[in-house]
Amino acid sequence: MSTTVTVPDVGRTIRAQREQRGISLRELASRIEVSPATLSGIETGNTTLSVERMCRIADELQLLPHRLLDEVLEGPAGRAGAGQEEHPPYERDDLPGRAQGRWREFPELPLDPALSGALIAFCDKGFHGASIREIADHAGLSVSGLYHYQPGKDAMLPALLDLTMADLTWRLDVARAEVGPGAERLHRTVECLALFHARRPRLAFLGASEMRSLSAGDRARITAERKRVQRILQDDIRSVLGQIPSTGRLMVTLGNAISTMCTSLSQWIHHDGSIAPELIASDYADAAVAMVSAHVVPHQRKAAR
């Protein structure tokens, strides 16, 4: 019994892999020496794809050629189907880099194809605007294939936001444990927050824009984690401010200002190499410490008189 490989299936996979790497259609077309219209035709299944050209595309995407055929050839048989155990909740200790405590490194996260496609679609169209078909297209899957990974669209958003918080909080805990309280710890906390939002911009953007789309239970759980992060930041600000008269108010207002500064990174940062995310994070941490310390100096001067 022969297996028929359909161009639309391969084309969807090529498109999903290209978008996950942040490569534009025009750029990939230039690399494989075809017109953007030809590559668009390949991705939509309207243009014939030769084995030689498929291998060229796979090479530019840094994939083995068979990866572009996996979904087509394996089909439902090799996937976790309905009725099987669902993907367990993300555990912080299982995330890449956690065991080694490498909080400044950002290896690829364990996203299944459905969640990878959902992340792109939700960021581009919003949760309510993204259709299952669009998610499947970004994932390089058929709609039926999508359901072998996730039970539905409503399950994908909380899964992505749970992963976001798990990946952020282990980094914060490790980063802060390396230094003592005071300005140095505040610097480390803000550096970690800023670096995360610069290095995981899609997940960070989703967390900032789609909390309203969660169910009540999921929203309460993820909100509790977000409040924990905010309390960490406020505690570090308090340790720098000390016992000046306005500590309580400044802890809240400066904490909100600094966290907003960090979360907004995902809305404007572009990894074009002009400014390294590590430098941005260090600059943000310097600015945060200076912002908080500026409120301490006048009180120190008064005490010295």
Residue 79: per-residue pLDDT? 38
Rounded percentage of the chain residues whose pLDDT exceeds 90: 53
H/E segment holding residue 51: helix 51-60
Residues 48 and 188 in one domain: no
Mean pLDDT of 61-76: 60
**How far is 188 from 275, CA to CA, in rounded Å?**
20
- 147 neighbors 82 (Cβ within 8 angstroms): yes
**In the structure, what pLDDT confidence band is assigned to residue 177 with cuts at 50, 70 and 90?**
very high
Residues 45 and 179 in one domain: no
15 within some domain = yes
128 within some domain = no
Residue 74: per-residue pLDDT? 40
pLDDT at 144 over 90: no
Which comes out higher in pLDDT, residue 36 or 300?
36
pLDDT at 65 over 60: yes
Mean pLDDT of 150-160: 92
Which comes out higher in pLDDT, residue 83 or 155?
155
Domain count, the chain: 2
Residue 115: per-residue pLDDT? 95
122 within some domain = no
* 171-196 burial code (b ≥16 CB/10 A, e <16): bbebbbeeeeeebbbbbbbbbbbbbb
CA distances from 133 to 28, 75, 128, 140, 152 (A): 24, 17, 13, 10, 12
Last residue within a domain, chosen from 30, 47, 73: 73
- 32 neighbors 26 (Cβ within 8 angstroms): no
Residue 46: per-residue pLDDT? 83
Residue 55: per-residue pLDDT? 84
Q: What does pLDDT average to over the chain? A: 84
**Dihedral sign for Cα atoms in the order 264, 139, 145, 135:** positive
CATH assignment at residue 32: 1.10.260.40
**In the structure, what pLDDT confidence band is assigned to residue 194 with cuts at 50, 70 and 90?**
very high
Residue 90: per-residue pLDDT? 62
pLDDT at 255 over 90: yes
Residue 122: per-residue pLDDT? 96
Kindly report the pTM of this predicted structure: 0.69
CATH assignment at residue 280: 1.10.357.10
Helix, strand, or coil (residue 67): helix
pLDDT at 196 over 80: yes
120 within some domain = no
96 within some domain = no
- Considering only 80-84, 155-159, 187-191, 274-278, which range has the smallest mean pLDDT? 80-84
pLDDT at 301 over 90: no
132 within some domain = no
Residues 158 and 259 in one domain: yes
Biggest CA-to-CA distance, the chain: 92
pLDDT at 78 over 50: no
270 within some domain = yes
Residue 151: per-residue pLDDT? 86
* Domain carrying residue 25: 7-73
2 within some domain = no
3-27 pLDDT per residue, tens: 334 555 788 888 888 887 778 888 8
**Dihedral sign for Cα atoms in the order 38, 43, 44, 50:** positive
Last residue within a domain, chosen from 26, 51, 73: 73
Which comes out higher in pLDDT, residue 97 or 284?
284
- Write the burial class of residue 115 (CB in 10 Å: 0-12 exposed, 13-18 middle, 19+ buried): buried
**How far is 282 from 166, CA to CA, in rounded Å?**
23
Last residue within a domain, chosen from 73, 104, 124: 73
pLDDT at 229 over 80: yes
Residue 107: per-residue pLDDT? 93
